[in-house]
Structure 1
Amino acid sequence: MEAVLKNLAHTAELLAVAAHSDVVRQWDRLTVSRAFHWARYCELLFSRFHTNPAIRRAMEQQLQLTGESLRAAIPAHTELSFLDLPRCQHLLLVGLLNNPELPCSILKVLFDPAGPSDATPGEYEDVTGLCSSIIQCRSACKVLSAVACRSALGADAEVQGGMLMERLDALLSRGSDNRRAEQFLGSVLQGFGAAEQQFCLVISAALLTRTNSAAQTASQDFLLNWLQSEHSVLHRMCSTLPAALLADLAKEHQKFSSAYFDVLKTWASGMEYDINDGEWVQTSTNCTVTFQKLTEHFSALLESTPSVKTNTENKLHALKVSDGDFDVRGLSVWGDLLLALNKVTAGLQS
């Protein structure tokens, strides 16, 4: 029994270290696997002894003593109770994700979409893709929620967006050095690989997450600044996401509204009028956005809040004036855009 109580105390200390210590900087895949091995050990202890009053009392006393010692060393530590033992692996995982010192290499392993692989007998179980369990559980809750059922983002994107914000909150709470947060976002982008549209949905979900603290607002502001510096990601968002969703982002964030308009302006500026076909076409091989698609984007902005609508209209009129203020079709892309938008507005009102 002495060995069991000793192992229990060590695991409680391990959870505290995982959540609050910078020691995790040195952790590798094997270290994390061992940590989850001990977390599972405590879950088995609960399963075996929770109906044994004498052993349960001994374990509760040990956890209380260990908790007091840990609080003295780590004030932010939350004491592990006997009833917490069945979810030790979950507590360990959440603690690691909220620790800003966790290396990006471990984050990649935990979020690997390949999922856990079978462990070789005698070795520690692979921890690859362990975050998928959290994503799946939270996604199920989102799907069962009447509010989430109306979401255009999808349950997985909403869950991952929330987790992204939680991680940024933790990273940015440690001083003014933003390099670790930038590295984290870069590793997340790399982790999605070819699934860029899903990454764009996750970023959108993070930006649309309701903030209830200054830290969360700061995280969204940091994410917006990062997005403005990552032109390829921003252009990918604007070209793949629904215009209505992009308009929602513009409504919530002035920075995104300005960046979004600049992308649309770049696309429109790269068009020329094809006399034979009687339409505006892209001259750049890097952009496949049509004049009709461009009109849909601007139309969604005009259907947004009064401030976004007014700002968009003013910018479009200013661009038309700077281009000669023509009302003849085919002479100015801005004039033709305004004509097309007026037709859309008239059609909605009729």
Structure 2
Amino acid sequence: MNRKIITAAFIAFTLFSCQKEDSITPINGTGTNSGYVKGKNRFTITVDGVEREYYVHVPAGYTNSSVTPVVIMCHGGGQTGEQFYNISGWKEVGDSVNILTVFPTALVYCTNENGVITNMTKWNSFPGGSDICPGTNPKDDVKFMKEMIAAMKARFKVDEKRIYMVGFSNGGQFTATCSVEISDMLAAAIASGGGGAFPRDTTCNPVRLLPSMLMFGSKDGKMIKGLGLQAGSSVPMGFTQLYTAYPYLYSVQPKPYINTFRLNASSYTVSGDTNSVVMADYVGLSGNPNNVFRMVEVKGMDHEYPNGVNYPLRGAVFHWAWFKQYSLP
């Protein structure tokens, strides 16, 4: 798989050719004559000889009479699409604003995280980015995304200019991969959780300079461990303070985005409140108003996708407010 990476020295915080739609399992919804139900659906496709699954939530207000935006939510390592269907908060946002929400599942691989070998779901992100055991031949997950999007377009009346992608932890790394390789298909992309989404100091060649966001918590356990800090510690709120104290974080958080998406490193605006959520907004050197990047630090948040229960912030609501302003040209 061609990752288009120019430079990659990866230090991560642990932090398919068949195109036939094989099966559909409508779950707990109101039936239609179009191969789906309102509510929860499980679909599968075969990609490179392997069956892949994804869940789709069809809101009650969906009709085939008008195009509808799509949000793809990628779970973290060891998790599943169905789990994030249930806990991420995106299906509720889908019902509220009438968008299709999609929850794919990664394949299970042997993984080695800090010497602990186990089998778990992992997205095949940038080389070395998923802790997959040496000698394993991970499948092409970018190809899975392409085929899944094609299947969504065939089944639903999708707004092709408003397909968004968000991922948590390893799913955030994979979302960053997709923001490079299929940025011509995505209106915007968000990575959440962990120390960073791209390999350290990496520059990639994206198909398109798309709007991107990176969100993390000041108490993210993966990041804290990666910095060698005691469990339960917190890093400073505010980016000047944070990167002065931990310059390594700069090399894995904003710098790869600055390099990859051709951003103006010396010009950004800071907003928010260091007692809750602080943001830094960068603009691109291209002059394109959609060539933007937002960094988000959330006070006291651990390594989790916030859903209003595990943390007061509702990530899906917060992210949709940012997503909805962008569309493909």
| TM-score, L = length of structure 1 | 0.27
Pick the structure with more helix per residue.
1
CA radius of gyration, larger in? 1
TM score, norm. by length of structure 2 = 0.28
Higher relative contact order (CA 8 A, sep 6+): 2
